Amino acid sequence: MEKGFRIHKKIGLIIGPILFIIMYNLPFIIIGPEADKVLAVTAWMIAWWITEAVSISVTALIPICIFPLFQMMDIKTVAANYGSPIVFLFFGGFVMALALEKVGLHKRIALNIVKITGTSPNRVILGFMLATAFLSMWISNTATTVVMLPIALSVIDLLINDEDGFSKGDKNFALSLMLGIAYAANVGGIATIIGTPPNTVLVGFVEQEYNIQISFLKWMMMGLPFSCIMIGVIYFVLVKFVYPNNLSVLNDSKNIINDELKKLGPIKGTELRVLLIFGITIFLWISRSYINDFIPSIKLTDAGISMLAAFSLFTIPFKFNKGEFSLKWEDTKKLPWGILILFGGGLALASALSGAGVIDFIGEMVASNNAYSAFLIGSMLILIMLFMTELMSNVALVAIFAPVVAGIAIGLDQEVLYLLIPVTMASSCAFMLPMATPPNAIVFASGYISVHEMAKGGIVLNLISVLIIILFAAFVVPNLW
């Protein structure tokens, strides 16, 4: 058995199928014969997702194995969820991110953003946060953090080796820089549909179950302002209240950034080609509805644009005679294929819950008990999601809770997006614990942060983000959808 296979994982591995067997063979009916079967599978998946007894992507294969076997859904219908257009939207985004990383363009973009912001300690922190957030809009928050961390550590080394050693102010600067990078990676992804997997899970769910299409542009009209506000809040809380550093100008930090840029050398032709495809893709995502109206003979979709970008990176040569392309298929070994399977499994589970009447049942239960207002219930759901994501995968959480939240919205006679979007946003606002998100874990592993130090600022930011999301839920989301 693998090293580090902890007791809660062992228990989860056993409890999952046992829960399925017990619930499948209950002598009484909970909701209905078909619904109870789906609930049994749901219990199994939740047990494995919470304990991470196996990879969350492996858990997402349960529907395609179990639904056809027990005649809950035929194999053709289940498999269609794993090939949803949303899966291909994210696949194209992954390929584009892979190209940015392969040619080193992501690092060049980040370094230039940091260079612009200045050399005072707080400006250095702000520069790193802005660069991290921008990259996280397009590539995974994990990859973004991995890129930014070594550069940040080089800046911190300046303080360790200066005349006064590693003072309290230096320590606070290091804390703010490390936490700022992790938190910016988390909230930066909220700005775009492809920025973080929970966004894509939500978009796929509402399109599949309610025929509601959320365009790249419309999501960005909401997500980008939220990310910008959160970056400002995170920066202000860290450097002004929780970990103020009161340091003077860090002149040598500019040298570090310049040295890193020199290592990259002048911008190369491969970078320019990837940058061009990247820019055209973003332009098409933002303007596709206008293009569709202007040229009725074509039909652009967000997923189609994403796949065109991926196709171009594989097929447009930058050295025709040598047959050299921006990407080769071998490069896709680095793609997080498991996340794509996770999308499919989440959509399959949601489809089964809806088809079996579970979502309608939840809606009827909520409608019959109108003791609480929609605003209060929505606020409670945001709070619950945000603090639960500290303990388990936010992608799995959204996959589990999206159908439940949709049922609650129906019961409250609310548009499903009015609850689903804020709850999904909350799933990416985890600031308290190292295990909450990969960026948190990565900066924690740097050795400059303790759990207590992360939680100290994290709890404040968690509560502030709940309030901001509630305000967005009340005033922004209803005006966009």
Q: What is the pLDDT of residues 245-284, one digit of tens each?
A: 887 766 667 788 888 888 888 988 889 999 999 999 999 9
Does 128 have pLDDT greater than 80?
yes
Q: Given this model, what pLDDT does residue 319 score?
A: 74
Angle, CA of 172, 466 and 456, to the nearest 5°: 25
Q: Given this model, what pLDDT does residue 78 score?
A: 93
216: phi then psi, degrees, rounded to nearest 5: -60, -45
Residues in Cβ contact with 342 at an 8 Å cutoff, skipping those fewer than 6 apart:
56, 57, 60, 197, 395, 396, 399
Sorting pLDDT into bands at 50, 70 and 90, what band is 478? very high
Structure tokens at 437: 């998100």
pLDDT tens readout for residues 327-337: 999 999 888 88
What does 270-303 look like in DSSP terms, one character per residue? HHHHHHHHHHHHHHHHHHHHHHHHH-TT----HH
Angle, CA of 124, 129 and 135, to the nearest 5°: 125
Does 228 have pLDDT greater than 90?
yes
Sorting pLDDT into bands at 50, 70 and 90, what band is 150? confident
Cβ neighbours of 229 (radius 10 Å): 16
pLDDT tens readout for residues 406-454: 999 999 999 999 999 999 999 999 899 887 888 998 888 888 888 899 9
* pLDDT-above-70 percentage for the chain: 96
Which of the listed ranges 149-153, 311-315, 385-389 does the model predict with the highest average pLDDT? 311-315
Q: Given this model, what pLDDT does residue 162 score?
A: 59
Query: CA-CA distance, 88 to 199, in Å (whole number)?
Result: 14
* Paired strand residues for 319: 324
Q: Given this model, what pLDDT does residue 164 score?
A: 59
pLDDT tens readout for residues 53-83: 898 889 999 999 999 999 999 999 999 999 9
Query: CA-CA distance, 129 to 193, in Å (whole number)?
Result: 20
Does 301 have pLDDT greater than 60?
yes
pLDDT tens readout for residues 20-58: 999 999 998 888 899 999 999 999 998 998 888 898 889
pLDDT tens readout for residues 153-183: 888 887 766 555 567 888 899 999 999 999 9
Does 148 have pLDDT greater than 80?
yes
Q: Where are the domains of the chain?
A: 1-77, 86-334
The answer to whether 228 touches 96, Cβ cutoff 8 Å, is: no
Sorting pLDDT into bands at 50, 70 and 90, what band is 4? low
Stretch 361-369: mean pLDDT: 80
Q: Given this model, what pLDDT does residue 1 score?
A: 40
Query: CA-CA distance, 193 to 288, in Å (whole number)?
Result: 15
Q: Which ranges of 189-268 would DSSP assign to H, the alpha helix? A: 197-210, 216-236, 251-264
442: phi then psi, degrees, rounded to nearest 5: -65, -50
On the 0-12 / 13-18 / 19+ scale of CB atoms within 10 A, 21 is: exposed
Mean pLDDT, rounded, of the chain:
89
Side-chain half-sphere exposure of 368, counting CA atoms within 13 A: 6
Q: Given this model, what pLDDT does residue 212 score?
A: 92
Quote helix, strand, coil % in the chain, to nearest 5: 75, 0, 25
Q: Which ranges of 317-373 would DSSP assign to H, the alpha helix? A: 337-355, 358-368
Sorting pLDDT into bands at 50, 70 and 90, what band is 110? confident
- Could you tell me the CA-to-CA distances from 420 to 9, 352, 376, 378 in Å, in that order? 30, 18, 15, 9
Angle between helices 197-210 and 416-426 in degrees, nearest 10: 160
Query: CA-CA distance, 459 to 386, in Å (whole number)?
Result: 11
Residues in Cβ contact with 122 at an 8 Å cutoff, skipping those fewer than 6 apart:
235, 239, 245
Q: Given this model, what pLDDT does residue 220 score?
A: 95
